[in-house]
Amino acid sequence: MSRLYAENLTLAYEQAVVATDLGVEIPDGSFTVIIGPNACGKSTLLKALARMLKPKTGGVHLDGKLISSYRSREVARRLGLLPQTSIAPSGITVGDLVARGRYPHQKLLRQWSSEDEGVVTESMRLTGVLELSGRLVDELSGGQRQRVWLAMVLAQQTSILLLDEPTTFLDIAHQVEVLDLCADLHEDKQHTLVAVLHDLNQACRYGSHLIVMRPGGEIAAQGVPSEIITAELVEDVFGLPCRVIDDPESGTPLIVPNARKKRSEHDGPVAVHEHAAL
């Protein structure tokens, strides 16, 4: 069994059930990417894996125990999460924000050991924000800010990192920058990464393991991108007719949506039929 897996999950907000009977396993040392159409429950699944959302049934297991049986600090020493939205307190410096990542390792009278200092410096160096440490977070660009948040999660020193849409709101160059950084962490540091991404091609390029979710919170497929991504799967899950070719750069699957004309041909008879029914 891997360090992090979930069985028979039923996930719901109040009465609204997002997913039922969900089972996923996050292979150790993998860069797992969760993809799926909007509102299919990707982020909800990630929240459940990070014990931010309590499942109605089933359970998430971390290092052989139910995640809900740990104290929250203990979980925070084993598993880090970068949520979709984090708020930087106004007027905080980069160094101070990254230092907050040390919270699960600190005590009331042990607020800043030299170990804390070393880990925070190293996290900032890895994410390339060390020279920004004295700057205010408010003054940074979106890409820099996202690297600062990553540094904060790294300062937690967990070997499992969960990232909820880490590339949202970033332009393409910064998206690639953040994903490259994730790939470095995965390859060089042997961290296990789980990320929710929107871009299928990025998911295929960076992910070593994909979890494809369908609307209604079902798992459509999971496995190595090149083995599971087919035109049929993409059309089935996203309702998008497409071709899957080899990415000329990386050799991973590249999803090319069909041209508009071809798509309307594809949809044509259905549309006529609907019209006739009216």
Which of 14, 188, 249, 274 forms a contact with other proteins (CB under 8 A)? Answer: 14
Q: DSSP readout, 101-146?
A: GGGGG-BTTBS--HHHHHHHHHHHHHTT-GGGTTSBGGGS-HHHHH
Other beta carbons less than 10 A from residue 274's beta carbon: 9
Both tokens assigned to 251: 């050799």
Draw the binding track, 121-160, toward other proteins (x: CB under 8 A; -: no contact). x--x-----x--x-------------------x--x----
Residue 106 or 208: the one with the smaller Cβ distance to other proteins is 106
Q: Which among 200, 225, 198, 195 has a CA at the least distance from the CA of 210?
A: 225
Q: Which among 220, 193, 189, 221 has a CA at the least distance from the CA of 206?
A: 193
Q: Which stretch binds other proteins (CB under 8 A): 4-12, 59-67, 83-91, 253-261?
A: 83-91
Contacts of 204 by beta carbon, 8 Å cutoff, 6+ apart = 210, 225, 226, 229, 247, 252, 253, 254, 255
In the complex, what is the shortest distance from the CB of residue 165 to other proteins, in angstroms, rounded to a whole number?
13
Directed axis angle between helix 114-126 and helix 142-155, to 10°? 140
Q: Give the number of residues in contact with other proteins, rule: CB under 8 A.
A: 48
Q: Which stretch binds other proteins (CB under 8 A): 90-98, 175-183, 222-230, 251-259?
A: 90-98
Q: Which stretch binds other proteins (CB under 8 A): 19-27, 33-41, 94-102, 168-176?
A: 94-102
Q: What is the DSSP letter of 93?
A: B
Which of 57, 111, 190, 250 forms a contact with other proteins (CB under 8 A)? Answer: 111
Residue 107 or 273: the one with the smaller Cβ distance to other proteins is 107
d(CA 99, CA 4): 26
Q: Does 169 bind other proteins (CB under 8 A)?
A: no
Q: Which stretch binds other proteins (CB under 8 A): 91-99, 139-147, 204-212, 235-243?
A: 91-99
Q: Which residues bind other proteins (CB under 8 A)?
A: 13-14, 50, 52, 71-77, 80-93, 95-96, 98-101, 103-104, 108-114, 117, 120-121, 124, 130, 133, 153, 156
